[in-house]
Amino acid sequence: MAAATPIVRVDEVTPAQVERALAWQALRLEFQEMPLRDVVAEFNRYNRRQLLVRDPATAAVLVGGNFRADNAEAFVRLLGASFGIVARAEGDDLVLELGR
């Protein structure tokens, strides 16, 4: 009985996809229309002070841009200026929510 030959699939990627995939090496995070819940999860990987999003409407806000992974405070200021999202301290963490 002949051994099965594994199928190898190779996908073509664009230069932009490669750059985005390697951005973490320069402490850069790049997002394109990504829900805030996912963006926050990425920021939390690089920072002691954790960002928390509990409200589903806030978590669903779509974010795009290129950010320093180790500067969550600047990211939070940008969220306030761009989306009206406010941050309130809760212990050592920051809770993000849409302004009322």
Q: Tally the domains of the chain.
A: 1
Is the residue at 82 inside a domain?
Answer: yes
Each residue's pLDDT expressed in tens, for the chain with a length of 100 residues: 667 788 888 889 888 887 777 765 668 898 999 999 999 999 999 999 999 999 999 999 999 999 999 999 999 999 999 999 999 999 999 999 998 7
Residue 16: the pLDDT is 81
The domain in which residue 70 lies consists of 31-98
Contact 32, 64 (CB under 8 A): yes
Q: Domain containing 51 — which CATH number?
A: 3.55.50.30
Is the residue at 8 inside a domain?
Answer: no
Please name the amino acid found at residue 11. Answer: D
Question: At 61, is the secondary structure helix, strand, or coil?
Answer: coil
Residue 1: the pLDDT is 64
Spatial distance between the Cα atoms of 94 and 11, rounded to a whole number of angstroms: 39
Is the residue at 61 inside a domain?
Answer: yes
Mean pLDDT of the chain: 90
64 φ/ψ angles, rounded to the nearest 5 degrees: -140, 150
pTM of the predicted model as reported, rounded to 2 decimal places: 0.73
Is the residue at 90 inside a domain?
Answer: yes
Is the residue at 50 inside a domain?
Answer: yes
Q: Would you state the structure tokens that stand for residue 63, as one six-digit string?
A: 């974010």
92 φ/ψ angles, rounded to the nearest 5 degrees: -90, -5
Is the residue at 75 inside a domain?
Answer: yes
Q: Percentage of the chain surpassing pLDDT 90?
A: 67
